[in-house]
Structure 1
Amino acid sequence: MANDDWSTLPLDLLGDIAMKMDTIDDYIYFSAVCRSWNRASSLIKEQWKPIRMPWLLLAENTSNNPHCVRKIFNPSNNKCYKLNLPETLGARCWGSDYGWLAMVDRKLNVRLFNPITKAEIHFPSAGTIPGLPPFNKKKDGNKEGYINWVLRAFFLRLIVLKLSETEFVIVVIHGNFDQLVFAKQGDQSWTSIFVKQEICVRMFDVVAMDGYIFALYNDASLVYWNIEDFRGHELVKPIDYSIRNFEMFKDFRSGIGAVYLVQSGSDLLMVFRFREEVSDSDGNYHPDVYETFGFSVYRLDPKDRKWEEVKDHATLFVGGNSTMSVSAKCLQPSCIYFTDDEMDLSSLVKEFGGHDMGVYDMKSEKKRRFYEGDDIRSAYCPPTWFIPQL
């Protein structure tokens, strides 16, 4: 081309070029070149499939940030992107595989929010969730403190389920005994899910996989529901999966550790995270100074209904706000990226909260930091993984 006017390239040729973009950020850069490139990218948007790559929504910057700029970190290229996200101001966020952040804001509104497209789906108010104590001025003091408690302590996790391309469900793990409730878009209230009534039995995690939702308890039991059961508004009783071996639970202490469920391809994985308290330069230990020192990963054998330890697996991303698995060439396999999810501990001391974040190599049993910024601390919304979608 004599004048090198790339904007005059035919739309079908530009579309072929856009289809070769591997990542969301490359696609966005391509669409922002000029009007004709943007037009071409929009025409192939439905057919274009990017590499599944988790991004990390970093903690909110609450000082000198009038435009509500929030950083998002991409571990595949070690780049940070800055987005104006006033919608997330003061909210607690949980990531998902579908591009959505599940959010509860300071007015207790619940919604799905896409930080890239700014699309939203609204759900019933968190104030209608069964088991949430109402604000009591005499007991709670001020409303601000009550909201902080709800965001930090009452909500343990929000999980996004996909019923169809346009239908989504939010499942909420909440309360002192890890109760479950769910709601579909368009519902006016939340529906309770049948859970164990034993007072000492706590729920570790919940994950959706192949049309089912699995829940793991600290008594080593695994139960599941059919996701289709969540189309109704009735109490749904789970089916006991009857795991036969649970020796790995005997030596695990969940007081300063975590257990996650992760779907990895056709496998259901259980990930043990081990933390320890660390001493300062004087040899003193503090309960709010801790670090992760290792992981163990188990795969569920559906035939024998047993957990078997594995060392080789896809790259895993874990944290209290989201868990996921990807098989990308740009990431090292058998590694676990982890974020700090000790909400009770991280909120005690500002200097230490959020610090326990890095990547652990299962084969070398070594860890390193993957992000060196200081925007990792939050009393109610720690960094969370999500897979971006347009």
Structure 2
Amino acid sequence: MARDWSAMPLDLLAAISMKLETIEDFIYFSLVCRWWNHVASSIKNDWRAIPTPWLLLAENNKQNPNCLRKIFNLKNNKRYQLTLPETFETRCCGSAYGWVAMIDRRLNVKLFNPVSKVHIPFPSFENIPSLDEYDPEYHKTRDEYVTWCLRIFVSKMVVLKASQSCRRDFVIVAFCSSGCLAVARPGDQSWTLILTDDKAVDVAVMDDRVFVLYHNGRLVSWNAKEFFNLEFVKQMDYSPSQPHILGEELSYMFNKVYLVESGGELIMVIRFKEEVGDDEGQEYDLDIVYQTHCFEVYKLNPTKKLWEEIQELSGVALLLGCNSSMSISSGKCLQENCIYFTDDENVFWNLPKEFGGHDMGVFDINKGEIREFYEGDDTRSLICPPTLFIPQF
């Protein structure tokens, strides 16, 4: 006797769907029929997937009328295609909360969820006071000016999630080449600037405090509630710089520094890059130019307030690059004690013949080796190379 699967009771279907572990399985469940889709829609806000990073690959503008964009799942090494016209011709930075922070060619900013297609508008970047206005003598066209804004002026966008004690759910922190931080919340009319006395490179939330890391290892912090309410009057110096760790090496233009909250601890990671073909007598390879060759990892000693080098990331993997810096439990998804990284050398993205996006891989901290985790050829972009995010509804 044939069963009518569409007639299964709601409570039974809900119980089954809550046991699904991956967002792909949940989506497939919702596509069985209208009734199953109704059940999935009613419980998806309570359902939690095993955190599995996805790689949003570079846009393909050639012969792509449906604006299909490829997604690569790092757990099962499968590629999917999603119709994502919103992500084309935009700068994208992924996060751990399902959101991708985006700036489009009209300099509009929003958080966008590639799975649910929900978006949250933020103030336009036209409203940032420190952003130079279009100057025909410097930028030949408005289009060239916009490309500069997307590629150079904004070096990074980080999505921060407030704790339950804060009024707002999310803020975006933009790191600007002019030397300031720009912070905004949903519903704001403009960006609030934090003027910095040095080069800020990353930001993280831990223990109801927001920490900003400078390129020399110095940390400053704010009360998280005040930060999310844009009250920046009580900045605290949390830890001093450590020149013996972050000295001359970090003045080299290619190297990067990241800050990650991991299991209630602050982790600082230094990414070392080298020019390809910079030895005497060698020519530059205009398809490569630069390449990551190793990382160093430090943990903040909260008692001494000093960075101490470590060789072990217990049960976690780090996701760094053109996205919010993330730490996730490796489990069955990723290899532990590894750093998964994407290309974020935005100043040089227009130098290679095929633009940036090539500098991706996995660094094994124990072995000191780098291997590829994605071997496709759809990574190059002038504005938006691949970015990592954790899909959620």
The aligned counterpart of 1:250 is 247
Amino acid at match of 2:343: D
Q: Does 1:321 align with 2:320?
A: no
Q: CA deviation at 1:280?
A: 9.2
Amino acid at match of 1:18: S
Q: CA deviation at 1:387?
A: 1.2
Q: CA deviation at 1:232?
A: 4.0
**Cα 1:57–1:355, aligned 2, differ >3 Å: closer, same or farther?**
same
> What secondary structure, in the 3-state scheme, does the structure 1 residue paired with 2:299 have?
strand
Q: CA deviation at 1:107?
A: 0.5
TM-score by length of 2: 0.91
Q: CA deviation at 1:233?
A: 5.0
**Which of 365, 368, 379 in structure 1 is aligned with 2:368?**
365
**Cα 1:92–1:160, aligned 2, differ >3 Å: closer, same or farther?**
same
Aligned equivalents of 1:233 and 1:337: distance in 2? 32
Q: What whole-Å deviation, never above 9, does each CA across 1:86-126 have from its counterpart, x for those lacking one?
A: 11121111111211111111011111111111111111110
Residue 51 of structure 1 contacts residue 328 of structure 1 at CA under 8 Å; is this kept in 2?
Answer: no
The aligned counterpart of 1:260 is 258
**Cα 1:307–1:185, aligned 2, differ >3 Å: closer, same or farther?**
same
The aligned counterpart of 1:274 is 272
Residue 322 of structure 1 contacts residue 384 of structure 1 at CA under 8 Å; is this kept in 2?
Answer: no
Amino acid at match of 1:312: E
The aligned counterpart of 2:90 is 91
TM-score by length of 1: 0.92
Amino acid at match of 1:88: T
**Cα 1:236–1:173, aligned 2, differ >3 Å: closer, same or farther?**
farther
Q: Does 1:289 align with 2:289?
A: yes
Residue 318 of structure 2 contacts residue 328 of structure 2 at CA under 8 Å; is this kept in 1?
Answer: yes
Aligned equivalents of 1:233 and 1:274: distance in 2? 34
Q: What whole-Å deviation, never above 9, does each CA across 1:117-154 have from its counterpart, x for those lacking one?
A: 11111111100112001112233211010000000000
**Cα 1:63–1:280, aligned 2, differ >3 Å: closer, same or farther?**
farther
Q: What whole-Å deviation, never above 9, does each CA across 1:154-201 have from its counterpart, x for those lacking one?
A: 001112222367632222110232x112121111111112421xxxx3
Q: After the TM superposition, which residues 15-94 of structure 1 pair with which residues of structure 2 at under 5 Å, given as runs?
A: 15-94=14-93
Q: CA deviation at 1:228?
A: 1.5
The aligned counterpart of 1:343 is 346
Aligned equivalents of 1:75 and 1:373: distance in 2? 13
> What secondary structure, in the 3-state scheme, does the structure 1 residue paired with 2:183 have?
strand
Q: After the TM superposition, which residues 1-390 of structure 1 pair with which residues of structure 2 at under 5 Å, given as runs?
A: 2-163=1-162, 167-177=169-179, 179-196=180-197, 201-232=198-229, 235-243=232-240, 245-250=242-247, 252-253=249-250, 254-279=252-277, 284-286=282-284, 289-313=289-313, 314-330=316-332, 331-351=334-354, 353-390=356-393
Aligned equivalents of 2:270 and 2:132: distance in 1? 32
- For structure 2, the residue ranges without an aligned partner over 5 or more in a row are none
> What secondary structure, in the 3-state scheme, does the structure 1 residue paired with 2:82 have?
strand
**Cα 1:280–1:131, aligned 2, differ >3 Å: closer, same or farther?**
closer
Q: CA deviation at 1:365?
A: 1.7
Aligned equivalents of 1:363 and 1:109: distance in 2? 43
Moved more, 233-242 or 140-149: 233-242
> What secondary structure, in the 3-state scheme, does the structure 1 residue paired with 2:111 have?
strand
Aligned equivalents of 2:267 and 2:214: distance in 1? 14
Residue 354 of structure 2 contacts residue 381 of structure 2 at CA under 8 Å; is this kept in 1?
Answer: no
> What secondary structure, in the 3-state scheme, does the structure 2 residue paired with 1:65 have?
coil
Identity of aligned residues (%): 50
Aligned equivalents of 1:244 and 1:64: distance in 2? 51
- In the alignment of these two chains, the number of paired residues is 384
Q: CA deviation at 1:44?
A: 2.7
Amino acid at match of 1:216: L
Q: CA deviation at 1:235?
A: 4.7
